Amino acid sequence: MKLRDLREAEVRGKKVLLRADFNVPLKDGVVAEDFRIRKTLPTINWLRENGASVAVISHLGRPKGKVVPALSLAPVARRLADLLGEPIAFITDCVGDGVRKAVERMEAGEVLLLENLRFHPGEEENDPGFAQELAAPFDLYVNDAFAVCHRAHASTVGLPGLLPAYAGFLLQEEIRVLSKVRDDPDRPFFLLIGGKKAKDKLGVLEDLLPKVDAVLVGGGAAFTFLKARGLEIGRSVFEEDLLPKVKGIAERAGDKLLLPVDVVVAQELSDSAETQVVPVERIPPDAMGLDIGPETVRLFSAKLREAATVVWAGPMGAFEYKPFAAGTEAIARALAEAPGFTVVGGGETGEAVIGLGLEDKFGHLSTGGGATLDFLRGRPMPALEPLMV
């Protein structure tokens, strides 16, 4: 896949609209984790160094077309200014006269951040009129938001039809790495699946099963597989309507499929929960499984050391709670030390890795969650099509 490279654009003196993904976690009105912001800095700085003025647009959360003050990008503007080492302007809308006037006043090298795109219903509706309003003050469009490239929104597919459009450096890096994994992975190629629910990963499993050499399933997703195998899983969360489908996938996977052999169980999901480790065949009827156990950690870690390529999507347990974080942490550390090339999907998996300070220990830590998996599955990526040469 060949994308229109930003380096080929003449940007000096131009007003550039940069679609970034600054959908980052906030805590008490402050950016709690800035990985996605930092990954966009090379594109922003290249534009500035080459004489462009840059207005950045992004979404944050799911305000559903309404102004939600708690989802304002103002804290992101403050963090971006810190990372750039100089003040930047924050505009309290992303369209309208205020934006137009602010952009007209910008000089080469200046950066401003516009307010949350999703405060307007036209963004997710891919409204052509909203796209035209966004584009009006600008000369050129750059997409550096891989994590939303599977979305057909005004800022991802509407804008490149209205302005000369290019791929930023983060977007190019994501496509380069993930294309190799999708089309020509070094083998053995393993898929490590976790997360809360099986339904979020079944499509990935079905599409990638013929392409991978092993599938390891942990997290909440594993309990639907264990139930489909005929085991009693106590009060563990599972998806009854998916049992026939999961059973079929397990049968097709055969020896490729590895499931937990022990789990950490508790009667409640809390930071003060009392836990015990039990074999999967002996989950108490009044308990729920909330993490993989130490024997599963050993089994999975040993298997993962055999891989030349691993894609990891989904934590191994309810890692947000201390009693159920050990499995995810142990697997993250095992993968960080494994000899193969490991791709970590974004979302919760990325949060876990970054929280452990391991982000530089993996072959590729993607900024995308759903976008990463859709790309690897070969599903349509609407925002990439207008950027292709």
Average pLDDT over residues 58-81: 98
Q: Could you report the per-residue pLDDT of 249-280, keeping only the tens digit for each? A: 999 999 999 999 999 999 999 999 999 999 99
- Which position has the token pair 């984790």? 33
- Residue 201: pLDDT over 90: no
Strands 111-114 vs 89-91: parallel, antiparallel or unpaired = parallel
pTM for this prediction? 0.93
> What domains, with CATH codes, occur in the chain?
6-171 (3.40.50.1260), 185-377 (3.40.50.1260)
Split at pLDDT 50, 70, 90, the class of 58 is very high
Please tell me the distance from the alpha carbon of residue 23 to that of residue 60, in angstroms, as a whole number. Answer: 4
Q: Which two tokens stand for residue 227?
A: 């139930």
> Residue 225 is inside which H or E element, if any?
helix 221-228
**DSSP class per residue in 45-107:** HHHHHTT-EEEEE---S--TTS--GGG-SHHHHHHHHHHHTS--EEES-SSSHHHHHHHHH--
What mean pLDDT value characterizes the chain? 96
Position 1 pLDDT exceeds 80:
no
CA atoms within 13 A on the CB side of 309: 16
Residue 56 pairs in a beta bridge with: 18, 113
Residue 98 to residues 102, 104, 114: CA-CA distances in angstroms?
A: 6, 10, 10
Average pLDDT, integer, range 120-136: 98
Q: How far is CA 114 from CA 128, 222, 347, in A?
A: 19, 42, 24
Distance in angstroms (rounded) separating the CA atoms of residues 292 and 297: 7
Q: Report whether 225 contacts 280 (CB < 8 A).
A: no
346 falls in which pLDDT band (50, 70, 90)?
confident
Structure tokens at 177: 């790495």
pLDDT at residue 90, rounded to an integer: 98
> Does residue 348 or residue 290 have the better pLDDT?
290
Q: Which tens digits make up the pLDDT trace of 273-330?
A: 999 999 999 999 999 999 999 999 999 999 999 999 999 999 999 999 999 999 999 9
Are 264 and 317 contacting, i.e. CB atoms less than 8 angstroms apart?
Answer: yes
- Do the Cβ atoms of 283 and 236 come closer than 8 Å? yes
Q: Which residues are catalytic?
A: 36, 197, 347, 370
Q: In sequence order, what are the residues at sequence separation of 6 or more whose Cβ sits closer than 8 angstroms to the Cβ of residue 121? A: 64, 65, 127
Return the pLDDT at 388.
96
Nearest to 24 by CA among 42, 11, 37: 37
Q: What per-residue confidence (pLDDT) applies to 327?
A: 98
Q: For residue 230, what pLDDT is reported?
A: 96
Q: How confident is the model at residue 108 (pLDDT cuts 50, 70, 90)?
A: very high
pLDDT of residue 197: 83
Return the structure tokens found at 101.
């006037």
